[in-house]
Amino acid sequence: MPDKSVSYWTNTGQGLRAVELRAAGFKPSEAAAINAVVTVAAAHTNAHRCNNRVRRIADFLVDALALKGGQGLLVGAPAVSDALTQGTENAGYSLVSRDLMADCMETGHYAHHGNAMIVISGCDKTGAAALMPLARTNAFGLVVYPRTSAPGRVDFEPWASKGNNLTLMDYMEGSAAREAGRISDDQLTRLQRCVMPGSGTCGAMFTANTMSTVAEAIGMMLPRGASHPADYDAGSDIHDDVKKQAYASVEALYRLMEIGLRPRDIMVRKAFENAVTTAYAMGGSTNLYLHVLAIAREAGVMMTIEDLHCIGERVPLIANLQPHGPYAMVSLHKVGGVPVVMKALLNAGLLHGDVMTVTGKTLAENLAEVALPEELPEQDVIFQVTQPLAAPGNHISVLSGSLAPESCVLKLSGKTLEDGEFHGKAKVFNSEKAAMTAIREGGVVAGDVVVVRNVGPVGAPGMPEMVHLTIQLQGRGLGKEVALITDGRFSGVSHGILVGHICPEGAKGGPISIVQDGDTIVIDPKKRRLDIDITPKEMAGRMARLDPPELLDVPEGSVLSKYRRLVSSAHYGCVL
């Protein structure tokens, strides 16, 4: 059991710390009995449903720690919801918040002399931020997920056949379908009322649940922690399963301290490979690339974007979850959650079973009694590895080429391109807003490649998600006939023929800056290429004539200004 920080916090005597403790409502005379000072890092806000239950969970954790003789000290951090920022001028703050949250948690932990840490995650950047300070400080600790939203249902198509599995994606695509005249006002209103009955993160395999899956699969969250529903409805208390997980997490933390097992003992290279493998098998978000690279750096594990591709390219898609399938995350939970997916992968030799986890046991030991998909009662949520939804190579791939000399990521979400590649005519836009206007006014048609540039980590700044563009394409029935390429990124909700994270970005003089309307763009997943079909001479000439980019003006000294100055490219995970 660690004692350095406890000794500091309890060594109050007649000194200043006794004054501080008493003024804050603690009793210095009781401090000597404390056996652990635990940072409860909680990105709480009442501004959105993703993290509005986090403070309640934090209070449970503090109470549970007290029952074990520990003292929980709350540390806050900003929690940004992409659902509130996407498509607005403030969208750049989303990715920026990842590193800001990690810094807040690290600062609070050391400033309050904690010797262990429980981090409550939530909306997608919070999921990455939760693992970063644990890896960075190597304090005894683990992650608790405030859980995913319960799904809804309606009685009209194309959504009725999904049953009780509707998520925010269905409403967003329904909204675009209404704009295109494909559904009625009444149907859109019914979707809005039914799609999300309570709190929680976006309800399927979008970025929040991708990162909760990563936390569980890497061994830093208790089994089945990634898929619980957050509550019963908007007026209820948090779900009983969430309470149980909070108390169980405190018990697990004390076991970790007793046996001396720290995050960097768990977050080893093999564990990262397990996390990426599991996320691929479940159809995870492209944001996985940015976040896993950032977390690995904090853990001192050398990983490159090519490493992630090589891990993922051998993994079939076996979880039938949105956005590529019909089911919500809660449906996965009902059939056993992430452990069932991992058991199938382990049984197929795709996971490392000898890595340690926060249970104090190996992954193989955790999965010993878990059923394989074929051993479950009849279901079509999790498929067998030998009979997958999609063969390996049909989810996320890393490409390069004349338009992406460093790298970019292609998301197919289980879909294959009929001819093995996509050729289309470029429609070029220097902002998301301009592209949105063109799509809504019918300026984008089948066979086009929408090119959105100057929205990278430096250009935006903050690399916003182009999700509303992908939603418009899907809602208008163009998702399989129009490609979208960008130096920005995508939401986990996004699906179609999508290429993001193009590096170098436009703001850094990348070749995406020289694309012109009408140029032929070639996306070739088999050759892993993204190219512009012009001669090398024309390419060189355009690059030579390229003017320095005009960057969006942001206030000097602002968070966005600092981020622009410090951030690396998406090729390295947008780390600072």
Enzyme catalytic residues = 491
d(CA 319, CA 338): 9
Signed CA dihedral, 4, 5, 10, 14: sign only: positive
d(CA 332, CA 205): 10
Closest CA to 68 of 249, 293, 303, 218: 249
| Neighbouring C-alpha atoms within 13 Å toward the C-beta of 556 | 0
d(CA 412, CA 495): 7
Q: Is residue 449 within 8 Å of residue 473, measured between CB atoms? A: no
One-letter amino acid of 433: K
d(CA 345, CA 348): 5
Q: Is residue 198 within 8 Å of residue 228, measured between CB atoms? A: no
Residue 230 is given by DSSP the state: S
- CA trace torsion 127, 128, 130, 132 (10° rounding): 170
- 138: alpha, beta or left? (left if phi > 0; alpha if psi -120 to 50): left
Using CB atoms within 10 Å of the CB of residue 46, give its burial: 0 to 12 exposed, 13 to 18 middle, 19+ buried: exposed
d(CA 504, CA 510): 5
Closest CA to 395 of 422, 414, 409: 414
Give the phi and the psi of residue 98 in degrees, each rounded to 5: -55, -55
Question: Which contiguous run of DSSP H or E holds residue 246?
Answer: helix 240-259
Signed CA dihedral, 83, 88, 89, 92: sign only: positive
- 87: alpha, beta or left? (left if phi > 0; alpha if psi -120 to 50): left
Q: Is residue 53 within 8 Å of residue 46, measured between CB atoms? A: no
Alpha helix ranges (H) inside 139-233: 168-179, 185-194, 207-217
| Neighbouring C-alpha atoms within 13 Å toward the C-beta of 548 | 2
Helix %, strand %, coil % of the chain (to 5) = 40, 15, 45
At 258, list the tokens.
């007793």
- 495: alpha, beta or left? (left if phi > 0; alpha if psi -120 to 50): beta
d(CA 102, CA 132): 6
Q: Is residue 397 within 8 Å of residue 528, measured between CB atoms? A: yes
d(CA 129, CA 341): 24
At 242, list the tokens.
């969430």
Signed CA dihedral, 439, 440, 441, 446: sign only: positive
